[in-house]
Amino acid sequence: MAMKRRLENYEIERQLLFDSDSDCCTEDEDNNWGYEDEDDEELVQPPPSSLSSLSSSPSSWGPPQQHGRRGANNFSGGAVGINLNEAPHVNKDSTPLCVFLLFFREIIHLLVEETNRYYHQYLDSLEDGPSPLPDITDSEMFLFLGIIIQMGHDIRDRIRDYWATAEQFLTSFYGKTLKRDRFLHILRFLHFTDNNAGIDRQADNYDRLWKIRTIFDTLNDGYEKYYNPSEHLAVDEIIVKFKGRVIFRQYIPKKHKRFGIKIFKLCDSAGYTYDMKVYLGKDRTRADQEVTATHATVRDLCKRVEGVGHKLYMDNFFSSPDLFDELMTKKISCCGTVRPNRKGLPQDIRNRQLRLKKGDIRVRVRGDMTVLVWKDKRDVYMLTNMHAPPAEGNFCDEHRNAIKPAIVADYNMHMGYVDKADRMTNSYSISRRTWKWTKKLFFHLLDLTILNSFIVLSSCGAKISHRDFRLTLVRNMLEHAATCRPRPQGPLGRPPALSSTIYRLEEASRQHWPNHSDKRLNCRVCSARGKRRRIQTKCEKCDVGLCILGCFKEYHTK
């Protein structure tokens, strides 16, 4: 135990920073202790030939006078901001819609296709019902998304209140943009994949996110493609609030949002989400691997930032000596709080043998890695391989307040990037309790894409706030919808004559033959005309219901 003494000013400036209150987590304050998977907290003992061989035994740890040097890599990444090689047409004068469509152009067409498909599947499942409505078009999908974004700036109790004619509710914007019933129709049948896709739920590689996987991966790839992240990054988890039924819903009592869908994110200093991963429960395909679930999660999130010298910050839910050693081989330096019982830490720290007074600092070093224990209100355990090890001793100011070490201050400065992104994403979010988990997650991804688009445009030098960006995006969507191809109208009166160009149905390679259907289907041609006719004949190849007289020929000769 070092004897207490009064520090000289140059010693304080060299070793520590002036702030006196700790903002970093301790082992008692970690907000991830809750109903989570035990394999995230208990470390697996790997064989000597595995990744654990990257780290030395605990006996190799020593005091800072004997070991240790600063091991941070030099950053060699590109200019932070938009990747001009992938989007050379985007500049500070670009419209918000131009940037937004970098990520969402393909998704618009997917939403239209799958929503229409789901609606027709619904009609085919009914024995009798109302006349079918026209298919949704790209123009209507833009109007629908524009209204959804605008609703985030105008929260009301019920969705129908936006179209209410009562004086205290009347807002002409919604009624002029899209009729209420049409909006509710799109919202009801909004879909993201084909329900008839062959999915084996008993397979080991079954993907619980399959209903929205295409959109999730498309956005994830776009986030990486069009942006160069900053040198300092942070890994953390966020919760998309959801209390409905889904098998991977999480309950974390110490979170502000206790129930919801957990997403792990990698964010940079601007709050840009560069990569993300939804927690889907215990991974059966990784049950026999030699690393923990949290180790594998961070490793997967960092695959796109390897080799350029990034500095990564994480809390004690993720950090471990083995993880830090592996990421250092990929030129990623790490810093974070750590749980004292992690495998690979010095024995006196794992057993909590240190008895510290307020302001005390104890350091253990092994190569580039430093473990620091600092006593503030509680013991704070830090693990880093990007900082030089500080001096041991007792450091308090003239008011007997513990002086915060530089490692702790640096961690507090950079660790909040994911919380910053989540806070900005939810600033204007529209949320409804009754939505399915797929819609809940989709609208979160929509808000997140808008935030990332705003950050991309801001990196080009545009002077615009997040709020103004969203409102301008709504106006751009409405203007773009007006230029899209209008919704096709059903024919009035007698159907028009068929084209004289008749394709040869008798070709064996085409195989368009009428066949009997085991269940009653809606005629696709009659449905397009606003009529409802239940039949039991279908095209064998197209797998759609068609009347054998007239409609079958018309469908194949348009």
Per-domain boundaries in the chain? 90-196+429-486, 210-426, 514-557
What pLDDT does residue 537 have? 85
The 3-state DSSP class for residue 236 equals strand
Angle at 43 (CA atoms; ends 231, 259), nearest 5 degrees:
75
Burial 502-528 (b: 16+ CB within 10 A, else e): eeeeeeeeeebeeeebeeebbbbbbbb
Q: Are 140 and 116 in contact (CB under 8 A)?
A: no
What pLDDT does residue 528 have? 79
Name residues whose C-beta falls within 8 Å of residue 418's C-beta, 6 or more positions apart in sequence.
234, 235, 236, 237, 238, 265, 267
Q: Are 262 and 249 in contact (CB under 8 A)?
A: no
Measured over the CA atoms of residue 39, residue 41, residue 47 and residue 49, the dihedral's sign is positive
d(CA 75, CA 394): 34
Half-sphere exposure (Cβ direction) of 74: Cα atoms closer than 13 Å: 1
pTM: 0.78
d(CA 336, CA 415): 8
Walk along the chain (558 residues) and give the pLDDT tens digit of each residue: 444 455 554 454 444 433 333 344 444 444 433 344 434 444 434 443 444 444 444 448 888 875 445 556 788 888 999 999 999 999 999 999 999 999 999 999 999 999 999 999 998 888 777 778 999 999 999 999 999 999 999 999 899 999 999 988 999 999 999 999 999 999 999 999 998 887 888 888 889 999 999 999 999 999 999 999 999 999 999 999 998 889 999 988 877 888 999 999 999 999 999 999 999 987 655 645 678 899 999 999 999 999 999 999 999 999 999 999 999 999 999 999 999 989 889 888 877 777 888 889 999 999 889 999 999 888 999 999 999 898 888 888 888 888 899 999 999 999 999 999 999 999 998 877 767 999 999 999 999 999 999 999 999 999 999 999 999 999 999 999 998 766 554 443 434 444 333 344 444 456 677 888 878 888 888 887 777 788 888 887 787 888 887 788 788 776
What pLDDT does residue 72 have? 66
Half-sphere exposure (Cβ direction) of 274: Cα atoms closer than 13 Å: 29
Among 317, 338, 320, which Cα is nearest to 328's?
A: 320
Q: Are 469 and 453 in contact (CB under 8 A)?
A: yes
What pLDDT does residue 487 have? 55
d(CA 45, CA 48): 9
Name residues whose C-beta falls within 8 Å of residue 423's C-beta, 6 or more positions apart in sequence.
none
What pLDDT does residue 284 have? 56
What pLDDT does residue 64 have? 80
Structure token pair of residue 105? 């152009």
Chain position carrying tokens 């930032």: 305
- pLDDT tens digit sequence for 39-68: 444 443 444 344 444 444 444 888 887 544
Chain position carrying tokens 């499942």: 125
What pLDDT does residue 454 have? 97
The 3-state DSSP class for residue 91 equals coil
What pLDDT does residue 349 have? 82
d(CA 71, CA 59): 20
- pLDDT tens digit sequence for 241-257: 998 889 999 988 877 88
Neighbours of 427 (CB within 10 A): 14
Strand partners, 379: 375
Name residues whose C-beta falls within 8 Å of residue 262's C-beta, 6 or more positions apart in sequence.
237, 238, 239, 240, 248, 250, 252, 278, 279
First-to-last C-alpha distance (Å) of the chain: 89
Beta pairing class for 534-539 and 379-384: unpaired
| DSSP assignment letter at 154 | S
Name residues whose C-beta falls within 8 Å of residue 252's C-beta, 6 or more positions apart in sequence.
31, 32, 34, 35, 36, 239, 258, 262
The 3-state DSSP class for residue 370 equals strand
